[in-house]
Structure 1
Amino acid sequence: MFRCGIIGLSLFSSLSCLAQISVDTSYTAESLVRQVFVGGKTVLRTISYRGSYQSIGLLETEYPGFPLEKGIILSTGKAKNTIGPNSSPNRSTAFYKEGDEHLDKLSGRTTYDATVLEFTFLPEHNTIAFDYIFASDEYPEYVGKGFNDVFAFILTDISTQKEQNLAIVPNTQLPVHIDNINARRNAEWFIDNTDRRTAPWHDILEYDGMTKLLTAQARVVPGRYYRIKLAIADVDDAMLDSSVMLKEKSFRSFDQPLQAEADLKDSTSAIPHSIILFDWDSSELTEEARRQLQTFAKQVLTYSPRAIRVIGHTDALGTSNYNEKLARKRVQAVVNYLASLGLRGKVSLYRQSKGEDEPVASNTEESGRSQNRRVEVWVEN
């Protein structure tokens, strides 16, 4: 009987070892975004990362039933500390690095050890989405105590600078954190990982609690540049690690039909828009630009908007003062041409010059600079 118990225990241990999660922190942010996270034909521009090199990595597991076989992990501590079994109720790593202003504002407190992954993209369709899991060692002791590690997925429309946090509890506007998803509140999205007898992922994950696989989703304007900021940080101190796991190839763009005719004007996917590119140091409209504006004008005449906003940009070559004036000339060229297409007197045209201040791609290479030499034209409801 004793010998069988030893054999059984050895077999169980071997199976557990074969099913462990692995975390590799040797990958660059560029390769993780391009090769692991983003699926389909989404056009990517600038990709950046801020935080400890130990806090971001490639996560993989072959554990049966685990909802995320491969993806990116972003942690407030060492990403490799994610690897189970869950043997510590208070796993902590302190890098003593800076926090993040978005997360400070969201939490209402000071953040530390921020891990921030950002990239600019150009969606092909009217909706973007991706799948993720949030896990934390702040469960369950600090639920309701105000000591919440904070994370957010901040989507920014570069044209309007409008921001929204996509990390929200399903069917609510509540941000995802331990106070909003736990054993008592929105429990249908919570997994308790403390009890080995009942916790499904106790043997592979260190964290005491986690969400089920959630989906972040937003409506976007196809062909308009957006920036997504994926950020997580400790709040008030650098104690008790938390992580966000982003599912492989789950960042996607797709078309989602409008539910009713009334949604047509409210949805950004139905709003006419255009991005007009210019040659270097030029404010002359190309033939392609004229064709784009002709199409835009036809759409506007059937849409009957309140106003059109025209925003000019440049690359970073030259002085900021010169670039601001050049952007203004580009705006005027677009406004004049739209007026000649029949919009004069039918809709208000608002002009704005941003110069070199809001690039959508890197200015270190011509391919990026060519995307920054642009005028964005969009309808204001």
Structure 2
Amino acid sequence: MFRCSTIGFLFLSSLSCLAQISVDTSYTEESLVREVFVGEKTKLNAIHYQGSYQSIGLFETEHLEFPLAKGIILSTGKAKHAIGPNRTPNRSTAFYKDGDDQLDKLSGRTTHDAAVLEFTFAPAHNTLAFEYIFASEEYPEYVGKGFNDVFAFILTDLTTREEQNLAVVPGTSLTVHIDNINALKNAAWFIANANRRDSPWHDLLEYDGMTRLLTARARVVPGRYYRIKLAIADVDDGMLDSSVILKEKSFRSFDQPVLAKDTASIVQPSIVFFDWDSSELTEEAQAQLHTFAEQVLRYTPRGIRVIGHTDALGADDYNEQLARKRVQAVVDYLATLGLQGKVSLYRQSKGENEPVASNAEESGRAQNRRVEVNVEY
């Protein structure tokens, strides 16, 4: 009896370790927006959701290293299907509900099963930002096929009626979808999740691919009312689910100096790459950091986090030290560009533990030999 109980306990414990994500679809849109998403006292009105109530919920994970611990999940299928491990390459749910006209226009095709969360707000400061992750079962098979699930964060100025989509690839005007962030394009922002060898989240999350934590950001006028539309939908058919996860309390406003020449300028994260077994900055990396430093000096960020990575070749201890050397090379160079004493620099090394591409091929290893430089506000 004791042996059976012990085995049962170990079995349940292993299941508990795998099931480190929970999704609760019982929350109202009011509570999700007011209590989960918005991170400061903000005037909120007209909170509205359209779509299946199985497609919106509270996302939580106990995994300490996952990019976000809690937030709102919006899905083209059942939100609870986000829960891993990833055993199904083509998880799909069709609700046969309507799409969305703006998403039709954005994708150039007919959308279905739209999940749309909207609310109006009046920011207290001149810059709006929030963090999110996009994940999809369409990775990797449908990359480059000419159609894909679509999502957008459409910000509307209710005074001027001007609209802009905030879901764009950092440093570009490209909308975020599987064709614009994948293993070959903007790969530094991509995490493969289809193969257990290549992903730290295979046992955690169902989807075959995901973005890293991205930031949506826009200039706003303090006190003026805006509407934000957070929307995702299937394109052409109801097959292959996609989701966007909005980080808890990340919806906020803060002040940045307004430049006379370009009031929309913001400091974008930077990723620099290294040659194999090297911590020397290439000319390209130096030019990239020079541009980054010029942007930082125009603003007053809270700090800069510099995170080093390597590919999987070599011993773990060696790669940890190599990642540290790469971080130090970046920090030292930023110091020469005038940031020393003006912005706090935080160092972190991950070694080979957080690949963004497969280490089985050189093209993937080249993407993993990187240092990420992120601005914190």
TM range (shorter): 0.5 to 0.7
Tell which structure's C-alpha radius of gyration is larger.
1
* CA-atom RMSD in angstroms: 2.0
**Deviation for aligned residue 1:17:** 2.0
The answer for the alignment partner of 1:100 in structure 2 is 100
**Deviation for aligned residue 1:10:** 8.5
**Deviation for aligned residue 1:42:** 1.3
**For the residues of structure 2 that align with 1:261 and 1:155, how far apart are their CA atoms?**
23
**For the residues of structure 1 that align with 2:56 and 2:128, how far apart are their CA atoms?**
23
- Native 8 Å contact 2:131 2:216 kept in 1: yes
**How many residues of Structure 1 are paired with residues of Structure 2 in the alignment?**
260
The answer for the alignment partner of 2:225 in structure 1 is 225
- Native 8 Å contact 1:136 1:210 kept in 2: yes
**CA 1:238–1:208 in structure 2 vs 1: closer, same or farther (change >3 Å)?**
same
**CA 1:24–1:267 in structure 2 vs 1: closer, same or farther (change >3 Å)?**
closer
**For the residues of structure 2 that align with 1:64 and 1:50, how far apart are their CA atoms?**
32
Q: What are the ranges of 5 or more consecutive residues in structure 1 without an aligned counterpart?
A: 269-381
**For the residues of structure 1 that align with 2:15 and 2:244, how far apart are their CA atoms?**
23
**Deviation for aligned residue 1:15:** 4.5
**Deviation for aligned residue 1:20:** 1.6
**Deviation for aligned residue 1:167:** 0.1
**Deviation for aligned residue 1:52:** 0.2
**CA 1:12–1:184 in structure 2 vs 1: closer, same or farther (change >3 Å)?**
farther
The answer for the alignment partner of 1:55 in structure 2 is 55
**Deviation for aligned residue 1:12:** 8.7
Give the TM-score normalised by the residue count of structure 1.
Answer: 0.66
The answer for the alignment partner of 1:36 in structure 2 is 36
The answer for the alignment partner of 1:17 in structure 2 is 16
**Deviation for aligned residue 1:195:** 1.1
**Deviation for aligned residue 1:257:** 1.4
**Deviation for aligned residue 1:261:** 4.0
The answer for the alignment partner of 2:242 in structure 1 is 242
**For the residues of structure 2 that align with 1:11 and 1:49, how far apart are their CA atoms?**
42
1:262 maps onto 2:233 in alignment: no
**Deviation for aligned residue 1:11:** 5.5
**Deviation for aligned residue 1:67:** 0.9
1:46 maps onto 2:50 in alignment: no
- Native 8 Å contact 1:192 1:199 kept in 2: yes
- Native 8 Å contact 2:62 2:69 kept in 1: yes
**Deviation for aligned residue 1:197:** 2.0
**For the residues of structure 2 that align with 1:17 and 1:172, how far apart are their CA atoms?**
40
The answer for the alignment partner of 1:129 in structure 2 is 129
1:209 maps onto 2:212 in alignment: no
**For the residues of structure 2 that align with 1:179 and 1:195, how far apart are their CA atoms?**
19
Counterpart residue identity of residue 213, structure 2 = L
Partner of 2:237: helix, strand, or coil? coil
Per-residue CA deviations over 1:275-300 (Å, capped at 9, x if unaligned) read: xxxxxxxxxxxxxxxxxxxxxxxxxx
Partner of 1:54: helix, strand, or coil? coil
**Deviation for aligned residue 1:262:** 3.3
Partner of 2:80: helix, strand, or coil? helix
**Deviation for aligned residue 1:117:** 0.1
Partner of 2:54: helix, strand, or coil? helix
**For the residues of structure 2 that align with 1:30 and 1:146, how far apart are their CA atoms?**
36
Counterpart residue identity of residue 107, structure 1 = S
**For the residues of structure 2 that align with 1:126 and 1:15, how far apart are their CA atoms?**
48
**CA 1:84–1:41 in structure 2 vs 1: closer, same or farther (change >3 Å)?**
same
**For the residues of structure 2 that align with 1:74 and 1:173, how far apart are their CA atoms?**
23
**For the residues of structure 2 that align with 1:193 and 1:17, how far apart are their CA atoms?**
20
The answer for the alignment partner of 2:188 in structure 1 is 188
**For the residues of structure 2 that align with 1:10 and 1:89, how far apart are their CA atoms?**
30
**For the residues of structure 2 that align with 1:25 and 1:54, how far apart are their CA atoms?**
6
Partner of 1:53: helix, strand, or coil? coil
Counterpart residue identity of residue 137, structure 1 = E
**CA 1:226–1:192 in structure 2 vs 1: closer, same or farther (change >3 Å)?**
same
Counterpart residue identity of residue 82, structure 2 = T
**For the residues of structure 2 that align with 1:47 and 1:231, how far apart are their CA atoms?**
14
Per-residue CA deviations over 1:269-322 (Å, capped at 9, x if unaligned) read: xxxxxxxxxxxxxxxxxxxxxxxxxxxxxxxxxxxxxxxxxxxxxxxxxxxxxx
Kindly report structure 1 stretches of 4+ aligned residues shifted beyond 3 Å: 9-13, 260-263
Q: What are the ranges of 5 or more consecutive residues in structure 2 without an aligned counterpart?
A: 266-377
Per-residue CA deviations over 1:140-163 (Å, capped at 9, x if unaligned) read: 000000230000000000011100
**For the residues of structure 1 that align with 2:77 and 2:55, how far apart are their CA atoms?**
6
**CA 1:12–1:204 in structure 2 vs 1: closer, same or farther (change >3 Å)?**
farther
**For the residues of structure 2 that align with 1:97 and 1:50, how far apart are their CA atoms?**
10
**For the residues of structure 1 that align with 2:28 and 2:151, how far apart are their CA atoms?**
21
| 1:212-361 correspondence to structure 2 within 5 Å | 212-258=212-258, 260-263=259-262, 266=263
Q: Give the share of equivalent positions with the same residue, in percent.
A: 76
